[in-house]
């Protein structure tokens, strides 16, 4: 099969010499990377996967068995009918850019490379997880997430190849050279160098870390650089499945934790071989606090620049806001001064990272409410809570100071005294890891997690989502 045939696309790849030349070199390197750093031990198996072969609702959710190295990673941009305009910032009202404006090259490249780097990073972080999947349904979900992160890498690499010339090609290669957690070639953002070696962390990752991705993509989908806006809009349709995987994954563990607690005479889910709710709370604390770092500094000139140039908007910029200059307003920010929190006024544009973080925090709080509802329905009494965004930060304005999970300033000694109560301990991690035993029989599921409410693509939970080809 020719390169053009093997890559589903709506960018007229067949007649684009520039893109073809770039991809001819890059695609084999991508496959090499996938085989080396993609899911370990499952490359020969048939996975019931969704492949995007077109952008319309019928085309982007085509399901069939496929071996992952044969997955058809494609290039899709959300189609446009009418002229697009820059919708915010200093260039608002101008025609949207179809090519990279020279004066915005550096800043755009940084935005795209930073976003792109997260995609292969998460595949690398999760490459061992398949070996301990609690069900075939979950194993499939993992691989679906993985191949789609791969496609998101393609989407960003397409932009680099198509719009950034030689420089873009070099960056695209570097994306395959960095390695999550590698001391010498780490991924750009620290969260993407953390290990994800058990499923509670995987679900937390897809719940909290990928959800940062959603908000970043949504902000970029407002971009005045039209190819970026169109690429990220289509990525968002896939991203929602990842978030669904995380949110429902935690919900199923929460549900099971509550059920097992009720079964146990001492209400101890661990005694029943499950993950207990206080442990889940610690994971939430850890992953949420790690993910909120990804939004960047609370007061940020980069954020202001990204907005001013029209490259990165607010969440639902066009739909939600009337004033698209964001120049007149101020943002009331909680600032720590002399050990006390006080509100300070920050020019809105410089606070846009925080504005996006607000949207994110509200979304996470919604999910926690839902999980609490799930617990309540079992009849068990326990409430999970989303920690404050100030808790356990190592970057930004709150780094270096100590806060409790409610966001109150405390002393470093108080923090250390409570660390094992608030954050996963080595013992907690060892316990959760000890539960990770693979369940590969269709229709069966590990004891520590409830089955999903329904299967994939109208199939039942018992469906054989993964066919192993092993001798």
Say if residues 275 and 235 touch (Cβ distance below 8 Å).
no
Task: For other proteins, give the closer residue by CB, 109 or 429.
Answer: 109
What mask, x for binding other proteins by CB under 8 A, covers residues 73 to 102? -----------------x------------
Angle between helices 17-37 and 165-177 (to 10 degrees): 10
Task: For other proteins, give the closer residue by CB, 118 or 374.
Answer: 118
**What is each CA distance from 49 to 37, 46, 69, 272, 276, in whole angstroms?**
19, 9, 12, 34, 32
Alpha-carbon span 70 to 402, nearest angstrom: 49
What mask, x for binding other proteins by CB under 8 A, covers residues 143 to 182? -------------------------------x--xx----
- The DSSP bridge pattern shows strands 340-347 and 330-337 to be antiparallel
Task: For other proteins, give the closer residue by CB, 185 or 421.
Answer: 185
Contacts of 97 (CB under 8 A, 6+ apart): 86, 104, 224, 225, 226
What mask, x for binding other proteins by CB under 8 A, covers residues 365 to 384? --------------------
User: How many residues form the binding site for other proteins (CB under 8 A)?
Assistant: 23
**What is each CA distance from 255 to 248, 250, 264, 374, 450, in whole angstroms?**
10, 8, 14, 6, 7
- Where are the alpha helices (H) located in 264-343, listed in sequence order? 277-292, 301-308, 317-320
By the rule CB under 8 A, 188 interacts with other proteins: yes
Stretch that binds other proteins, among 36-44, 184-192, 253-261, 364-372 (CB under 8 A): 184-192
Among 327, 341, 401, 436, binds other proteins (CB under 8 A): 327
Contacts of 282 (CB under 8 A, 6+ apart): 422, 423, 424, 428
What mask, x for binding other proteins by CB under 8 A, covers residues 240 to 259? --------------------
CB of 73 to other proteins, least distance (A): 23
Alpha-carbon span 401 to 384, nearest angstrom: 24
Stretch that binds other proteins, among 79-87, 238-246, 263-271, 303-311 (CB under 8 A): 303-311
Task: For other proteins, give the closer residue by CB, 67 or 110.
Answer: 110
Q: 291 forms bridges with which residues in the sheet?
A: none
CB of 18 to other proteins, least distance (A): 22
Stretch that binds other proteins, among 14-22, 185-193, 286-294, 385-393 (CB under 8 A): 185-193
CB of 172 to other proteins, least distance (A): 13
Task: For other proteins, give the closer residue by CB, 68 or 189.
Answer: 189
Burial of 377 by CB count in 10 Å (0-12 exposed, 13-18 middle, 19+ buried)?
exposed
Radius of gyration of the chain (CA): 23
CB of 364 to other proteins, least distance (A): 27
CB of 33 to other proteins, least distance (A): 14
SS3 state at 343: strand
Alpha-carbon span 149 to 147, nearest angstrom: 5
Name which of 91, 275, 293, 36 is nearest 190 in CA terms: 293
- Where are the alpha helices (H) located in 89-190, listed in sequence order? 105-125, 136-163, 165-177
Say if residues 7 and 45 touch (Cβ distance below 8 Å).
no
Among 183, 339, 426, 453, binds other proteins (CB under 8 A): 183
CB of 327 to other proteins, least distance (A): 6
What mask, x for binding other proteins by CB under 8 A, covers residues 34 to 73? ----------------------------------------
The values of phi and psi at residue 120, to 5°, are -65, -30
Task: For other proteins, give the closer residue by CB, 187 or 357.
Answer: 187
CB of 110 to other proteins, least distance (A): 7
CB of 28 to other proteins, least distance (A): 21
Task: For other proteins, give the closer residue by CB, 297 or 438.
Answer: 297
CB of 428 to other proteins, least distance (A): 26
How is residue 281 written in tokens?
Answer: 């709370």
Alpha-carbon span 396 to 104, nearest angstrom: 25
Which residues in this chain contact other proteins in the complex, by CB under 8 A?
90, 106, 109-110, 174, 177-178, 183-186, 188, 301, 304-305, 308-309, 326-327, 347-350
């Amino acid at each position: 099969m020719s390169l053009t045939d093997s890559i589903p696309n709506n960018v007229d790849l067949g007649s684009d010499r520039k893109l073809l030349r770039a991809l001819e070199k890059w695609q084999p390197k991508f496959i090499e990377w996938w085989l080396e750093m993609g899911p370990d031990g499952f490359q020969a198996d048939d996975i019931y996967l969704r492949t995007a072969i077109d952008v319309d609702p019928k085309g982007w959710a085509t399901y069939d068995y496929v071996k992952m190295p044969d997955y058809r990673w494609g290039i899709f941009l959300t189609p446009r009918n009418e002229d697009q305009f820059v919708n915010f910032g200093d260039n608002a009202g101008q025609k949207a850019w179809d090519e990279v404006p020279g004066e915005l090259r550096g800043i755009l490249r940084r935005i795209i490379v930073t976003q792109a780097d997260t995609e292969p990073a998460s595949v690398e972080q999760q490459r061992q997880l398949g070996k301990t999947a609690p069900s075939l349904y979950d194993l499939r979900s993992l691989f679906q997430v993985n191949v789609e992160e791969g496609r998101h890498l393609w989407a960003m690499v397409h932009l680099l190849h198509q719009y950034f010339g030689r420089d873009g090609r070099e960056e695209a290669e570097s994306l395959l050279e960095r390695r999550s957690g590698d001391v010498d070639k780490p991924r750009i953002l620290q969260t993407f160098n953390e290990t994800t070696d058990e499923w509670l962390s995987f679900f937390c990752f897809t719940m909290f870390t990928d959800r940062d991705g959603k908000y970043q993509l949504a902000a970029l989908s407002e971009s005045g650089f039209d190819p970026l806006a169109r690429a990220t809009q289509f990525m968002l349709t896939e991203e929602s499945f990842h978030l669904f995987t995380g949110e429902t994954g935690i919900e199923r563990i929460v549900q099971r934790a509550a059920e097992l607690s009720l079964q146990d005479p001492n209400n101890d889910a661990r005694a029943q071989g499950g993950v207990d709710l206080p442990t889940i709370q610690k994971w939430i604390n850890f992953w949420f606090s790690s993910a909120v770092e990804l939004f960047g500094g609370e007061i940020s000139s980069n954020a202001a620049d990204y907005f001013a140039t029209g490259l990165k908007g607010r969440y639902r910029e066009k739909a939600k806001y009337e004033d698209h200059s964001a120049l007149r307003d101020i943002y009331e920010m909680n600032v720590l001064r002399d050990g006390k929190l006080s509100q300070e006024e920050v020019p809105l544009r410089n606070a846009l990272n925080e504005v996006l973080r607000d949207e994110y925090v509200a979304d996470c709080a919604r999910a926690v409410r839902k999980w609490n509802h799930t617990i309540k329905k079992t009849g068990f009494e326990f409430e999970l809570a989303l920690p404050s965004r100030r808790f356990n930060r190592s970057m930004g304005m709150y780094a270096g100071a100590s806060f409790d999970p409610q966001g109150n300033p405390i002393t470093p000694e108080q923090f250390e005294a409570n660390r094992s109560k608030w954050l996963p301990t080595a013992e907690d991690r060892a316990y959760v890891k000890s539960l990770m035993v693979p369940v590969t029989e269709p229709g069966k599921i590990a004891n520590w997690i409830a089955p999903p409410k329904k299967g994939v693509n109208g199939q039942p939970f018992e469906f054989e989502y993964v066919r192993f080809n092993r001798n």
